[in-house]
Amino acid sequence: MTFSDWKSQVGSYEEKSRDHLLALTTPPWSGGLQLMIGTDQKTLILDDDQMKYTFTKK
């Protein structure tokens, strides 16, 4: 992922629940940002326990 102020490598993994996630693997946010891949393969879900954000591919 590359933004105007920072960039980070992205990796993927599968949890025991069989959910697939993307995670930042290098600083500045290594391990701190995880996005669940929706079952439809068109959504990414960021769940921070207080709010849930869903990003949908158009």
User: According to the model, what pLDDT value does residue 30 have?
Assistant: 76
Domain of residue 32 covers 10-56
Domain contains 5: no
Total number of domains constituting the chain: 1
Domain contains 23: yes
Q: Which residues pair with 21 in a beta bridge?
A: 13, 36
What is the pLDDT tens value at each position of the chain, 58 positions in all?
666 777 888 899 898 999 899 888 888 777 778 889 998 889 999 888 899 999 998 8
pTM reported for the whole predicted model = 0.68
Domain contains 21: yes
User: According to the model, what pLDDT value does residue 47 have?
Assistant: 84
Domain contains 48: yes
* Sign of the C-alpha dihedral computed for residues 54, 57, 41 and 21 taken in this order: negative
Domain contains 46: yes
Domain contains 2: no
